[in-house]
């Protein structure tokens, strides 16, 4: 199979090609490395170690030859630079970790290693996953392959751009308030955020621990099912990991969906939603109806307050999680300082970018004496109300469906100086994080500017199989997910 053929295949197809020895892991890995080399200029990757990748590929080929291969053996994958990779830089998009070579592997990386997958490289991201445009990265912005003047979304912007531009068959990401689903929507790919506790957080650099969840950015729901099958599972190193075996995600893709009910929250279709996005989403809902799915309107009033709630809880946890970057044990330390406190302050001020500082400050503020009850505690209670809204909704529907984002990809620089406008990008994605629920974004067409539109599905807790099954049926009858940006075909 030539490089051209390889590039445009889905992960599921590549998996079959590897197993049937139509291609080798080395050929596959080399094809993607060359594609990165030819300089697509998207700035999607922070670190690529070709030699190491090829070494892993050779080992995988040996494994395939031995007949000891699984579905991902030999598969090159890109990983968000938030997952610790032993012996490879793990920067989290920050200057403060710009020299950090992790001495251990994240559980997710370990699982992929055991499956025999190849690490193609580490993808660019918003600094500490704080951002919705990938513009807060210390390593520079990432371009959207559909429109290179536009952002790819964030924080998993590098992963989304890489998959959309066919620089990798699939990539991992993390989602704290929409950081997988929003860039997936902006880049016209599939992005799955599993339930909180489904994928281990061990070795995933923490942003907001009660919201963070690792997931994948892929070309299809089927590809996502392959990856989730390897990633999902109990990890004794993570106290929030749930001891429940993974479902058969691939096996349940084809299950019948007729008779299921989708709920359409009024609040996801109101003010702020770009009419073109709205139309594409409506069309997708019609598609589902044709597949025998029932649609009901639901009301989730508190969900409209998910953004304020999130901008208390996320920053609060982040302000504490990022306290460890103090220049003492690893990472960046300011070159000059007068004393200990000065070392802390200079290290952190030079090491963190503006958005990270902003969130540390707001988080410190909402937890500080005199403000805790009014902000932090209030947000925890509101979070409960939002979670209860989902519980009630799932009494009458099996999944919740709506747009992933209010608009399609916006111009680079357009919202850098307007944090509020930036934050509102995640208005439809945040509720699932607050409630720990799984969500997926799938391509549902394009707006008039040719920018992809994402359709979001939110499922019951641990109902990833149903989510993927629903997404897969849509992708069987549509081909939005098969479109490739011009210049990257």
Does the protein bind other proteins through residue 376 (CB under 8 A)? yes
CA neighbor of 486 nearest in space, from 446, 454, 450, 455: 450
CB 436 within 8 A of CB 459: no
Nearest distance from C-beta of residue 100 to other proteins, angstroms: 6
- Contact status, residue 475 vs residue 222, Cβ threshold 8 Å: yes
> Looking at beta carbons only, is 17 or 434 nearer to other proteins?
434
Q: How many CB atoms lie within 10 A of CB 483?
A: 17
HSE-up of residue 166 (Cα within 13 Å, Cβ side): 23
Binding other proteins by CB under 8 A: which of 15, 132, 429, 435? Answer: 435
Name the DSSP class of 487: T
Name which position in 7, 309, 427, 457 contacts other proteins (CB under 8 A): 309
Which residue of 379, 400, 440, 455 would you call a contact of other proteins, by CB under 8 A? 379
Nearest approach, Cβ of residue 260 and other proteins (Å): 24
Q: Per the residue annotation, which of 71, 179, 220, 241 is the catalytic one? A: 179
Stretch that binds other proteins, among 35-43, 69-77, 257-265, 356-364 (CB under 8 A): 356-364
Nearer to other proteins, 243 or 271 (CB): 243
Handedness of CA 205, 209, 215, 217 (dihedral sign): negative
Residue 312 is a binding residue for other proteins (CB under 8 A) = yes
| Percent of residues in the chain assigned helix, strand, coil, to nearest 5 | 45, 15, 45
> Rounded distance, CA 185 to CA 272, Å?
17
Q: Which of 27, 147, 175, 317 binds other proteins (CB under 8 A)?
A: 317
Contacts with other proteins in 238-257 (CB under 8 A)? Answer: 238-240, 242-243
Name the segment binding other proteins (CB under 8 A); options: 14-22, 144-152, 270-278, 316-324: 316-324
Sign of CA dihedral 118, 14, 34, 215: negative
Least distance (Å) from other proteins to the CB of residue 371? 10
Residue 192 or 366 having the CB closest to other proteins: 366
Cβ(464)–Cβ(449) under 8 Å? no
Task: Single out the residue of 457, 464, 441, 451 nearest to residue 220, CA to CA.
Answer: 441
CA angle (426 as vertex; 136, 228 as ends), nearest 5:
90
Q: How far is the CB of 292 from other proteins (least distance, A)?
A: 32
Residues 438-477 that bind other proteins (CB under 8 A): 461
- The stretch among 1-9, 135-143, 200-208, 464-472 that binds other proteins (CB under 8 A) is 200-208
Residue with the two structure tokens 């070795």: 203
CB of 175 to other proteins, least distance (A): 13
Question: Which residues does residue 483 pair with via DSSP β-bridges, in sequence order?
Answer: none
Tell me how many degrees the CA angle 36-160-362 measures, rounded to the nearest 5: 125
Query: Is residue 365 a contact residue for other proteins (CB under 8 A)?
Result: yes
| Residue 380 binding other proteins, by CB under 8 A | yes
Q: Examine the residue annotation and report whether 155 is marked as an active-site residue of this protein.
A: yes
Shortest distance (Å) from residue 306 CB to other proteins: 10
The first and second tokens of residue 49, run together, are 């170690």
d(C-alpha 123, C-alpha 126), whole Å: 10
- 99 or 392: whose CB is closer to other proteins? 99
Closest approach, Cβ 268 to other proteins, in A, equals 18
Q: Which residues contact 296 (CB under 8 A, 6 or more apart)?
A: 261, 262, 263, 264, 396, 397
Binding of other proteins by 382 (CB under 8 A): yes
Decide: is 348 part of the binding site for other proteins (CB under 8 A). yes
Interface with other proteins includes 337 (CB under 8 A)?
yes
Residue 366 sits in the site that holds other proteins (CB under 8 A): yes
Which of 9, 80, 122, 415 is catalytic? The answer is 80
Return d(Cα 320, Cα 16) in angstroms, integer. Answer: 45
Integer Cα distance of 282 and 447 in angstroms: 13
Residues from 94 through 153 that contact other proteins (CB under 8 A)? 97, 99-104, 106
Q: Does 266 bind other proteins (CB under 8 A)?
A: no
Q: Which of 15, 433, 441, 456 binds other proteins (CB under 8 A)?
A: 433
Please say which residue, 240 or 255, places its beta carbon nearer to other proteins.
Answer: 240
In the list 358, 414, 483, 488, the residue contacting other proteins (rule: CB under 8 A) is 358
Site residues for other proteins, window 150-169 (CB under 8 A)?
Answer: none
Note whether 163 and 70 are within 8 A (CB): no
Distance CA 163, CA 149 (A): 18
Q: Is residue 271 at the binding interface for other proteins, with CB under 8 A as the rule?
A: no
User: How far out from the chain centre does Cα 45 lie?
Assistant: 15
- CB closer to other proteins, 149 vs 421: 421
Cite the active site residues: 80, 155, 179
């Amino acid at each position: 199979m030539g490089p051209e053929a390889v590039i445009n295949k889905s992960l599921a197809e590549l998996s079959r090609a590897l197993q049937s020895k139509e291609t080798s892991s080395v050929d596959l890995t080399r094809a993607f490395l060359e594609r990165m080399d030819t300089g697509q200029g998207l700035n999607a990757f922070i670190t690529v170690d070709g030699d190491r990748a090829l070494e892993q590929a050779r080992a995988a080929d040996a494994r395939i030859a031995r007949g000891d291969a699984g579905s991902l053996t030999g598969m090159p994958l890109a990983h968000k630079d938030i997952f610790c990779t032993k012996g490879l830089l793990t920067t989290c998009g920050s200057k403060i970790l710009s020299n950090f070579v992790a001495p251990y592997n994240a559980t997710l990386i370990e699982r992929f290693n055991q499956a025999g997958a190849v690490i193609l490289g580490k993808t660019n991201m918003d600094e500490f996953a704080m951002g919705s445009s990938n513009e807060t990265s210390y390593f520079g912005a990432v371009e959207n392959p559909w429109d290179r003047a536009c952002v790819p979304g964030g924080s998993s912007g590098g992963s989304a751009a890489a998959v959309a531009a066919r620089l990798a068959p699939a990539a991992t990401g993390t989602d704290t308030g929409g950081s997988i689903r929003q860039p997936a929507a902006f880049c016209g790919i599939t992005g799955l955020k599993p339930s909180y506790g489904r994928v281990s957080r061990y070795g995933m650099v923490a942003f907001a621990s009660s919201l963070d969840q690792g997931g994948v950015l892929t070309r299809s729901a089927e590809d996502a099912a392959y990856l989730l099958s390897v990633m999902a599972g109990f990890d004794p190193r993570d106290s929030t990991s749930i001891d429940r075996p993974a479902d058969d995600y691939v096996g349940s893709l084809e299950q019948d969906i007729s008779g299921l009910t989708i709920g359409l929250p009024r609040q996801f279709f109101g003010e702020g939603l770009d009419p073109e996005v709205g139309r594409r989403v409506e069309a997708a809902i019609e598609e589902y109806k044709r597949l025998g799915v029932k649609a009901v309107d639901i009301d989730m009033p508190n969900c409209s307050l998910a953004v304020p709630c999130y901008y208390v809880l996320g920053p609060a946890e982040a302000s504490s999680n990022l306290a460890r970057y103090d220049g003492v044990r690893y990472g960046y330390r300011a070159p000059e300082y007068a004393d200990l406190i000065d070392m802390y302050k200079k290290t952190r001020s030079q090491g963190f970018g503006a958005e990270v500082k902003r969130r540390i400050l707001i988080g410190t503020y909402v937890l500080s004496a005199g403000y805790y009850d009014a902000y932090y505690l209030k947000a925890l209670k509101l979070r409960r109300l939002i979670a209860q809204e989902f519980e009630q909704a799932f009494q009458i529907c099996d999944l919740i469906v709506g747009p992933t984002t209010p608009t399609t990809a916006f111009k680079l620089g357009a919202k850098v100086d307007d944090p509020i406008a930036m934050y509102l990008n995640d208005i439809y994605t945040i509720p699932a994080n607050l409630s720990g629920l799984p969500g997926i974004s799938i391509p549902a067409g394009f707006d008039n500017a040719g920018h992809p539109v994402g359709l979001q599905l939110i499922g019951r807790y641990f109902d990833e199989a149903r989510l993927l099954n629903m997404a897969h049926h849509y992708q069987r009858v549509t081909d939005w997910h098969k479109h490739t940006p011009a210049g990257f075909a």
